[in-house]
Amino acid sequence: MDNRFVALNAMDDQEAAVKLFKEYDRVALPVVSIEGILLGIVTFDDIMDVDELESTEDFHKFGSIQSAIANPMTAKVFDLYKNRVVWLFVLVFMNVFSGAVVPSFRAPEIVLVVGLSMILTVIIGSLIGFLLPFIFTRLKLDPATASAPLVTSLSDICGVVIYFSIASWYFGF
């Protein structure tokens, strides 16, 4: 039998409680005040709910959705937009600056084609990342499956098509 006494402090963060449950593998833990007075208990199923909320919050931060949107079908377009617009501008400028090395290798015509391709690729990629969860929801599929690898793959394919289409049009092929 394990005789170690483990308790949650009422002032601790929820993530600390999740960590204690995982570390000590308990079914329930007492919650005590700073003075050590028993205030109640927290059960494993309560902690799993908290862990799911914390994981969802972390996932939204990773996906640059600072405020969680419970149902994208009922969310306001402006709210969806404002949660992503900063990252979209960062990506556009990163692509523009990464394309700045092209002039040292080739003529200005290439710069125009590459620059225009990068801007359109970011716009199309953003639209794909924005619309795919709606499409999956409309098709009654799990929108979480519209994850980063799928969005990245579709964006990459579109990027190649955009580049060659612009180059063919511009150079008259």
- Residue 83 sits in the same domain as residue 165: yes
pLDDT in tens, 85-102: 776 777 777 777 766 665
pLDDT in tens, 131-141: 888 888 888 87
Q: Which residue, 54, 50, 84, 49, is CA-closest to 66?
A: 84
Give the total number of structural domains in the chain. 2
For residue 125, the enclosing domain spans 77-171
Any idea what the CATH number is for the domain that residue 44 is in? 3.10.580.10
- Residue 57 sits in the same domain as residue 86: no
Token pair belonging to 67: 């405020």
Global pTM?
A: 0.45
DSSP state letters, the chain: -------EETTS-HHHHHHHHHHHT-SEEEEE-TT--EEEEEEHHHHHHHHHHHHHHHHHHHTT-SS--S-TTTS-HHHHHHHHHHHHHHHHHHHHHHGGGGGGTS-HHHHHHHHHHHHHHHHHHHHHHHHHHHHHHHTTS-GGGS-HHHHHHHHHHHHHHHHHHHHHHHHT-
pLDDT at 166: 93
- Residue 43 sits in the same domain as residue 83: no
pLDDT in tens, 37-75: 999 999 888 888 888 887 777 666 555 444 545 566 677
